[in-house]
Structure 1
Amino acid sequence: MTQTDLITRRERLLGPAYRLFYDEPAHFVRGEGVWLYDAAGDAYLDVYNNVASLGHCHPRIALAITRQVETLNTHTRYLHETILDCAETLLATLPDHIDRVMFTCSGSEANDLAVRIAEAYTGRTGIIVTELAYHGVTQAVSQMSPSLGEGVVRGPHIFTVPSPLRFSSETRAAGFAQAMDDVIARMTKAGFPPALFICDTLFSSDGVISDPAGFLKPAVERVQAAGGLFVADEVQAGFGRTGEAMWGFQRHGLSPDLVSMGKPMGNGHPVAGIAMRAELIEEFGKKSRYFNTFGGNPVSCAAALAVLNVIAEDELMVNVRQVGAYLTDGLRTLGDESKAVGEVRGAGLFFGVDIVTDGQPDGDRARRIVNHLRQHKVLISATGQQGNVLKIRPPLVFRPEHADRLMAALSRAVSHP
C-alpha cells in the first residue's frame, strides 16, 4: 500500500481531527534506541520523542511489560505488589511532602484529576494557565490548553497569565510574579479566586523557557499565598529530562502541591499519574471515590517501575547533562554563524531554538527547516506563539555522535532557502 493510499484510508477511517507531522508524512514500521525505521529500512534520527524517552523499544522495559502481561493484568480493586513497588520508587524521587500517588492512563487524565482534587480541597474553581499552555484533551483540561486553538472555548473560570518569554531573562522573575499578581486580582474580582496554577515547568508550548533557573518561584508563591495550589505539570520536564534533577520544578526550588506526569513514564506504554500531599487526597477521598479501569494496572506499573530503574541504574541524568552541554555548545555556535538562528534556550536534552529573518520571528522558515530535516531523515518539530521555535527533545540515551548528525543536518537546513 502506497503512502497516498495510507493517507486516504486514514482520512476515511479516522476523520479530520487527527493531524500528521510534516508536509510529507512519515511512515515507520519499527524503532530501536534513537532511531525510527521506515518500510524501506531507512533510519531516521528521532530528536523529538518525549514518549519513548529512554529510546524506542528499550529491551529492559519491553521485557518487564512482556513478563507481567504473561502473568497477570487486572485493576486496582484487587491487591497486587507491583503498584506498591512502583509507587514507593516513584515517591522516593519526589520531595518528602509529596507522599501519595494515584495512577491514570494519560497526562490528560492526570491533569483532569488534579483539577478535581484542587477544587475539592480549596472549594474554588479558578484556574491559571499560561497564554499558550497545553495540559491535555479532556473536556476540563482542553479548556486549560490555549495552544489547542480558538476552536476550544475557555471557560469563564480559566484565566491566562502572559508567557514568561514576554519578559527578558533579567526581569523574568519579577515580571512574571507581577503578572501573576495582576491575574489573581482580576479573577478574584470576577468571583473566581484561584484554586490552582498549573504549568509545564519547561513551558514547551510557550516556546521552551528554562532560564534563569528559579525564576518561577516568586509567581508560584503568590498563588499559594492567595490560597491556590500549584500543580507542576512534569509531562515534559520530568523523568530526568533536564539532567539537573529528576523533576523540572526542582530547578526552580519549588514546593508543589501536586505533580502530574505522563508520556515518558512508561517509555511508550500508556501510564501516567498524579502525586500530591497526603491531606489533598484525604480531603478529596472524603467526598469522592476514584477508579480508573486501566490506571495502575500491573502491566502499566511494571513499565513505569522499569523506567525508573533504568534512569537510576544507567545514570541517564549524567548522560543528559553531558550530551546536553555538548549540544548546547553546538546550537549556540550555529547561532553565531547563522542569521536565521536567534536565541537558544534549554535545559538538559530539551531545547527551543528561535528561527528569525531580519531578527524577527519567522514561523514559515521554521516550518521549512523542520520539513527539510525530515527529508534528510532527522525528526524535530516547532512550537511557540508564532511557530518559529524549533523544538528539539531527543531520547535521554542520545549520544555525542547523534548530536553531531543533528548539527550537520541542522546547519544545512538553516542555510537552505
Structure 2
Amino acid sequence: MVMRIPSCKLFFRSDPLKIVRAAGCYMYDEKGCRYLDCINNVCHVGHCHPQVVSAAVEQMSVLNTNSRFLHDNLVLYAERLTSLFPEKLNVCFFVNSGSEANDLAIRLARTHTGKKDVITLDHAYHGHVTSLIDISPYKFNHPGGEGQRDWVHVAPVPDVYRGKYTDKDFTVEECTKKYADEVKQLCDKATKLHGGVSIFFAESMQSCGGQIVYPPGYLRQVYSHVRAAGGVCLADEVQVGFGRVGSHMWAFQTQGDDIVPDIVTLGKPMGNGHLCQLSLQQVNPTI
C-alpha cells in the first residue's frame, strides 16, 4: 500500500512566488513583478549589494574552502568582530550556520555546568536541528512538533503590551520583576528536579515570536537568577544582531552597558549571508 503523507505545509495561501532575482530591498518574480522584501532575514545590507558582490567574486577567484586550514583572515575577522563586543567576549568558534552556532552553545554550556536543563522563552525559535527544535516552542508546540521535553522550561515572553503581565495592570518596573521572577521559579524547579540549570537561551529581542522588545532591566534580573542557579546566559543575535535594532550593534546592549552574556551566537547577517556563523564566548572563571 502506498500512502500519500504531506511532508511540508505550503508557505503561501494562494499561488506560490517564483523569485528569480533581487536587488536592494526588492525581489522580482519570473514575470518581472516587483515585491518589497519585508520578510528576508539574511541580506543585512540588501540584495546584491555591489560591495558584497565584488568581495565575494574576488575571494572566490582566489580560494573557497572550509576553515580547517590556517588563513590570516580567520584571525583578522575574529579580531575585528570581537572589537565590537564587551572585552570579556573574546573567544570565537566559527561554524557553518546560526543553527550550528546555537547547537554548539548548548554543548558548551552542558560541558561547563554538568547540567542539561534549558530555560527558553515561549514562542522562541532558535534553529532547525533537533537540539534546537527541542528548545523552540515555535516548533515543538505547533503541528508536527513532539511537545516539551522534561528538561526544557518555558518562561513567558516579557511582553508588556499583550503578555501575561501588561502595563495596563502594572508599572513597567513591576512587569519586569514579575517576568524575571517567572524565570527564577523555573530555575528553582530545575534545581529541585535535576540539580540545576545549564543555560538560559533567549534572543536579546524576540524576532520570530513577534518582534518583542523586553522591558528595561529584564535581562539584568534574569541573568542574575540563572547564574545564581549555576547556569550560563546566552544571547541569540542570529536575527537581531549587527545593528538591526538601530541604536546599538547588538540587541543585548539595549538592556544596559553592564549586560554581558556568557555566550553570544551570530548568524545570517554576517557577510550578508555569505560568511560562516559563530558562537562567541566569555573566557573567565564563570565559564
Q: Quick one: percent identity of the two aligned structures?
A: 36
Count matched residues.
269
> What runs of 5+ residues in structure 2 fail to find an aligned partner?
none
Q: Which amino acid aligns with 2:98?
A: G
Match of 2:268 among 263, 285, 294: 263
- Residue 279 of structure 1 and its aligned partner are, at CA, apart by 4.7
| Shift in alpha-carbon separation, 1:21–1:106, aligned structure 2, 3 A | farther
Counterpart of 2:217?
Answer: 214
- 2:207 is aligned with 1:190: no
Counterpart of 1:414?
Answer: none
Q: Which amino acid aligns with 2:188?
A: A
- Residue 280 of structure 1 and its aligned partner are, at CA, apart by 8.4
- Residue 218 of structure 1 and its aligned partner are, at CA, apart by 0.9
**Following TM superposition, where does structure 1 have runs of at least 4 consecutive aligned residues deviating by more than 6 angstroms?**
none
| Shift in alpha-carbon separation, 1:168–1:88, aligned structure 2, 3 A | same
Give the distance between the partners of 1:108 and 1:259, measured in 2 at CA: 13
Match of 2:204 among 190, 201, 204: 201
| Shift in alpha-carbon separation, 1:80–1:29, aligned structure 2, 3 A | same
TM-score for the superposition, normalised by structure 2: 0.87
The answer to whether the 8 A contact 2:116-2:151 is kept is: yes
Counterpart of 1:36?
Answer: 27
Q: Deviations for 1:168-188, whole angstroms, at most 9, x for unmatched residues?
A: 241331111110111111111
Counterpart of 2:130?
Answer: 139
The answer to whether the 8 A contact 1:202-1:236 is kept is: no
- Residue 122 of structure 1 and its aligned partner are, at CA, apart by 1.0
Q: Deviations for 1:94-126, whole angstroms, at most 9, x for unmatched residues?
A: 100000111111111100000000111111111
Counterpart of 2:62?
Answer: 71
After superposition, residues 272-291 of structure 1 pair within 5 angstroms as 272-279=277-284
Counterpart of 1:243?
Answer: 246
The answer to whether the 8 A contact 2:88-2:284 is kept is: no
Q: Which amino acid aligns with 1:243?
A: G
- Residue 66 of structure 1 and its aligned partner are, at CA, apart by 1.3
The answer to whether the 8 A contact 2:124-2:136 is kept is: yes
Give the distance between the partners of 1:64 and 1:175, measured in 2 at CA: 48
- Residue 268 of structure 1 and its aligned partner are, at CA, apart by 2.7
- 2:174 is aligned with 1:180: no
TM-score for the superposition, normalised by structure 1: 0.61
- 2:154 is aligned with 1:160: yes
- Residue 18 of structure 1 and its aligned partner are, at CA, apart by 6.3
The answer to whether the 8 A contact 2:94-2:279 is kept is: yes
| Shift in alpha-carbon separation, 1:280–1:46, aligned structure 2, 3 A | farther
Q: Report the secondary structure of 1:125's partner residue.
A: coil
Counterpart of 1:401?
Answer: none
> What runs of 5+ residues in structure 1 fail to find an aligned partner?
1-11, 284-417
The answer to whether the 8 A contact 2:133-2:140 is kept is: no
| Shift in alpha-carbon separation, 1:232–1:109, aligned structure 2, 3 A | same
Match of 1:59 among 33, 50, 56: 50
The answer to whether the 8 A contact 2:158-2:215 is kept is: no
- Residue 24 of structure 1 and its aligned partner are, at CA, apart by 2.9
Q: Which amino acid aligns with 1:269?
A: H
Give the distance between the partners of 1:278 and 1:138, measured in 2 at CA: 27
| Shift in alpha-carbon separation, 1:270–1:84, aligned structure 2, 3 A | closer
Give the distance between the partners of 1:280 and 1:200, measured in 2 at CA: 24
- Residue 193 of structure 1 and its aligned partner are, at CA, apart by 1.2
The answer to whether the 8 A contact 2:140-2:148 is kept is: no
